[in-house]
């Protein structure tokens, strides 16, 4: 119960913007079609399959509730921003459960977290892993979600300029780490193997 | 070089394009969509963009008054995320009986002005005292534990306050040592958490 005193038409949902409003339903269906699969990818990159599926429900519910304030041009980054917070809450909840299990003296649960498919590119993966999490996340959003700085700013709740700076720094750090690889330059060799390295 | 690096990073992506996802047009995903759309919408964010008028309506209840004394901050919150620190539990009151309580319609702008907000999990209930472990301080505190005292069954029915259950998580705001109800505190649903994050940041 959000408040003791809802407006009289709120419970029925028939008011403009309510749950039976055809315009609202149509808009939700349109955005749902846009974000449904990218959100699955975003979540499964960062959480176990089960957690990702449950958090997806949370995100969709927030999307439905907040539909009037969802920016039309940036609905997907907006959803990623909601998903980011929902995942943070899920991780806190998992950590809490873990602490409880440990307090009870039972075997700690190994929480499955999908990290990254790093094994095929060990040098690049090693360099990526050495970055701070904040750098990794901005790079993930840029490379994996394919977002531009303005969109990443929407996800992380900051300014595009700040993201551009962070992205530039993160790219430089990653490049420097790759340059420090062994003389065979395994990291760059991984790029050459796929024909994408332009020296 | 930038695009080259971007392409190389894509190869670290565990969700390569070959990894399947569920299409929004499958029966299962359509069912999920309908289930979401069957939930009641709230007008805390009015679709017109017009602020909902703040109407005070008095209600007899055995709880505290929702204090909306903007600007009177007992605890100066700054929206950061301090880690809870060990120490004696912070004591908050669930209210005395036979108090004339008033509810204000829910508004994120009002929530934002609450001086204290946190999410916690009930670890123990001993008579009229419930102890919560703080999982996250949104604003105005740093205690690792909070003890909620007082309250009665009447408040559940009269103003939509919430029964505490061990193991369950709650989002709580408080003013002057008193827990606020009327939608400003409650079980930690994704919806309420979304409002807290909108008001205080994640």
Identify all chain B residues contacting A128, using CB atoms and an 8 Å cutoff: 9, 12
Identify all chain B residues contacting A125, using CB atoms and an 8 Å cutoff: 12
Please, which residues bridge with residue B42 across strands?
none
Minimum distance, in Å, between the CA of residue B79 and any CA atom of chain A = 14
Residue B48 lies in a domain: no
Q: Is B66 found in the same domain as B32?
A: no
The pLDDT tens digits of the residues spanning B40-80 come to 765 333 333 333 333 322 232 333 333 333 333 333 334 44
With CB atoms and an 8 Å threshold, state whether B121 touches A69.
no
Q: Is B7 found in the same domain as B91?
A: no
Residue A108 lies in a domain: no
Q: Which residue has the tokens 């990794």?
A: A136
Rounded to the nearest angstrom, the gap between the alpha carbon of residue B180 and the centroid of all alpha carbons in its chain is: 11
| CATH code for the domain in which residue A39 is found | 1.10.1740.10
- Residue A45, pLDDT above cutoff 80: yes
Rounded to the nearest angstrom, the gap between the alpha carbon of residue A198 and the centroid of all alpha carbons in its chain is: 30
Please, which residues bridge with residue B179 across strands?
B174
Q: How many CB pairs under 8 A join A and B?
A: 189
Q: How confident is the model at residue B158 (pLDDT cuts 50, 70, 90)?
A: very low
Residue B8 lies in a domain: yes
Q: Is A128 found in the same domain as A97?
A: no
C-beta separation of B122 from B167 below 8 A = yes
Residue B194 lies in a domain: yes
Q: Rounded to an integer, what distance in angstroms lies between the CA atom of residue A148 and that of residue A140? A: 11
| CATH code for the domain in which residue B110 is found | 2.40.50
- By the CB < 8 Å criterion, does A150 face chain B? no
**Is the overall model pTM greater than 0.90, yes or no?**
no
Q: What is the domain extent for residue B138?
A: 56-200
- Residue B106, pLDDT above cutoff 80: no
Q: How confident is the model at residue A101 (pLDDT cuts 50, 70, 90)?
A: low
- By the CB < 8 Å criterion, does A18 face chain B? yes
Identify all chain A residues contacting B7, using CB atoms and an 8 Å cutoff: 143, 196
With CB atoms and an 8 Å threshold, state whether B47 touches A68.
yes
Q: Is B69 found in the same domain as B32?
A: no
- By the CB < 8 Å criterion, does A122 face chain B? no
Residue in B38, B136, B194 nearest the CB of A62? B194
| CATH code for the domain in which residue A183 is found | 1.10.10.10
Q: Count up the domains in chain A and report the number.
A: 2
Q: Rounded to an integer, what distance in angstroms lies between the CA atom of residue B199 and that of residue B193? A: 10
- By the CB < 8 Å criterion, does A121 face chain B? yes
Minimum distance, in Å, between the CA of residue A20 and any CA atom of chain B = 8
Q: What is the domain extent for residue A172?
A: 122-193
- What is the pLDDT, as a whole number, of residue A77? 96
Q: Is B6 found in the same domain as B94?
A: no
Residue A14 lies in a domain: no
Q: Is B61 found in the same domain as B108?
A: yes
Residues sharing a CB contact under 8 Å with residue A168, sequence separation 6 or more, in sequence order: none
Q: Is B33 found in the same domain as B121?
A: no
Q: Rounded to an integer, what distance in angstroms lies between the CA atom of residue A58 and that of residue A51? A: 11
Residue B47 lies in a domain: no
With CB atoms and an 8 Å threshold, state whether A18 touches B103.
no
Q: Count up the domains in chain B and report the number.
A: 2
DSSP A120-175: TSHHHHHHHHHS-HHHHHHHHHHHTS---HHHHHHHHTS-HHHHHHHHHHHHHHHH
| Per-residue b or e along A43-68, where b marks 16 or more CB atoms closer than 10 Å to that residue's CB | bbbbbbeebbeebbebbbbbbbbbbb
Q: Is B190 found in the same domain as B133?
A: yes
Q: Is B74 found in the same domain as B16?
A: no
Q: Which of B94, B119, B110, B99 is nearest to B44 (CA)?
A: B110
> Could you give the ipTM of this predicted complex?
0.74
Q: Is A98 found in the same domain as A130?
A: no
Q: Is B6 found in the same domain as B65?
A: no
* Average confidence score pLDDT of chain B: 71
Q: How confident is the model at residue A106 (pLDDT cuts 50, 70, 90)?
A: low
Q: Which of A177, A9, A55 is nearest to B42 (CA)?
A: A9
The pLDDT tens digits of the residues spanning A145-168 come to 999 999 999 999 889 999 999 999
- What is the pLDDT, as a whole number, of residue B141? 87
With CB atoms and an 8 Å threshold, state whether A60 touches B32.
yes
With CB atoms and an 8 Å threshold, state whether A29 touches B33.
yes
């Amino acid at each position: 119960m959000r408040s003791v005193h809802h407006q009289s038409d709120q419970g029925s949902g028939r008011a403009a913007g309510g749950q039976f409003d055809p315009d609202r339903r149509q808009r939700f269906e349109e955005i749902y079609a846009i974000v449904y699969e990218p959100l699955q990818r975003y979540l499964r990159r960062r959480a176990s399959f089960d957690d990702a599926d449950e958090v997806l429900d949370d995100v969709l519910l927030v999307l439905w509730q907040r539909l009037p304030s969802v920016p039309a041009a940036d609905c997907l980054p907006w959803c990623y921003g909601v998903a980011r917070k929902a995942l943070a809450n899920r991780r806190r909840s998992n950590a809490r459960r873990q602490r409880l299990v440990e307090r009870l003296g039972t075997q700690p649960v190994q929480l499955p977290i999908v990290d990254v498919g790093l094994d095929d590119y060990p040098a690049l993966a090693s360099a990526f892993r050495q970055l701070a999490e904040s750098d990794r996340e901005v790079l993930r959003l840029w490379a994996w979600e394919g977002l531009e700085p303005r969109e990443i700013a929407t996800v992380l709740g900051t300014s595009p300029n700040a993201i551009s700076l962070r992205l530039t720094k993160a790219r430089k750090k990653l490049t420097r780490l790759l340059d420090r690889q062994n003389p065979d330059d395994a990291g760059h060799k991984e790029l050459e193997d796929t024909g994408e390295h332009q020296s | 070089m930038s695009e080259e690096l971007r392409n190389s990073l894509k190869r670290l992506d565990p969700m390569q394009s070959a990894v399947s996802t569920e299409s929004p047009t499958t029966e299962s995903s359509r069912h999920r969509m309908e289930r979401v759309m069957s939930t009641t919408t709230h007008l805390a964010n009015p679709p017109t963009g017009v602020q909902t008028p703040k109407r005070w309506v008095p209600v007899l209840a055995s709880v505290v008054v929702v204090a909306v004394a903007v600007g009177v901050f007992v605890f100066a919150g700054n929206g950061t995320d301090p880690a809870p620190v060990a120490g004696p539990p912070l004591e908050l009151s669930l209210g005395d009986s036979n108090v004339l309580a008033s509810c204000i319609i829910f508004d994120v702008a009002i929530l934002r002005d609450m001086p204290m907000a946190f999410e916690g999990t009930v670890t123990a209930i001993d008579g009229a005292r419930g102890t919560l472990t703080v999982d996250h301080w949104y604003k105005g505190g740093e205690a690792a534990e909070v003890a909620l005292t007082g309250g009665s069954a009447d408040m559940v029915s009269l103003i939509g306050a919430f029964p505490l259950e061990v193991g369950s998580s709650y989002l709580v705001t408080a003013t002057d040592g008193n827990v606020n109800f009327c939608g400003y505190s409650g079980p930690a649903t994704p919806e309420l958490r979304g409002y807290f994050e909108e008001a205080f940041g994640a």
